[in-house]
Amino acid sequence: MRIDIISVIPDMMEGFINESILARAQKKGLVEIHLHNLRDYTLDKWRRVDDYPYGGSAGMIIQCEPIDRCISALKAERDYDEVIYTSPDGEQFDQHVANDLSLKGNIIILCGHYKGIDQRVREHLITREISIGDYVLTGGELAAAVMTDAIVRLIPGSISDEQSALSDCFQDDMLAAPIYTRPSEYKGWKVPDVLLSGNEAKIRKWEFDRAMERTKKIRPDLLK
């Protein structure tokens, strides 16, 4: 898999993509993550990529031309399954979207910035707009980082225990069951006896019941 991230401030993501699971996945050759500075694709001598919006509204807008130049340069080298724009008014990013994107071959993530991007980019170059929540960030770099992490960890081989990813919250539209580790008792706080019983069937039933209980209490919307 290859993920190309286009940003006005790519240095903000440099450390993130070269640590932990993302770094290991790249070293194993499971994924390539490339950062692209949008300013490298402008003809402006000051390397500006933004301008005032027509109509006199507030804020600054990222221009069409540098985005088109960057995306066109990438597309000239390979085909892409998705060109994603991180936007607060896009579709909600969740585990199902992460699952879907993890099966793609190549994707581009364009990080929003300032007041946003020229609408013509959204109409002619973007295939999918995704939001990580109903709030506005200074830029889309954090959203791109969240999405990249959620996607890459699902690629087989990225984490040592692949079953761990399959049992994450939201994979089956429920929250995960409570989890415990050693010691079995601490300050009088005990691990449930069923988890120490070794009875696989009872443990799986306990996990399902607790997961359902937590979901009904905390996120009942998931059960709809």
In the annotated binding site for S-adenosyl-L-methionine, the residues are 112, 132-137
How far is it, in rounded angstroms, from Cα 176 to Cα 158? Answer: 21
Q: Which amino acid is at 172?
A: D
CA-based nearest residue to 124, from 71, 177, 47:
71
33 touches 17 (CB < 8 A): yes
Residue list for the binding site: 112, 132-137
List the strands of the sheet with 128-131, edge to edge. Answer: 32-37, 2-7, 106-111, 82-92, 128-131
Per-residue CA distances from 215 to 18, 172, 222 (Å): 34, 11, 7
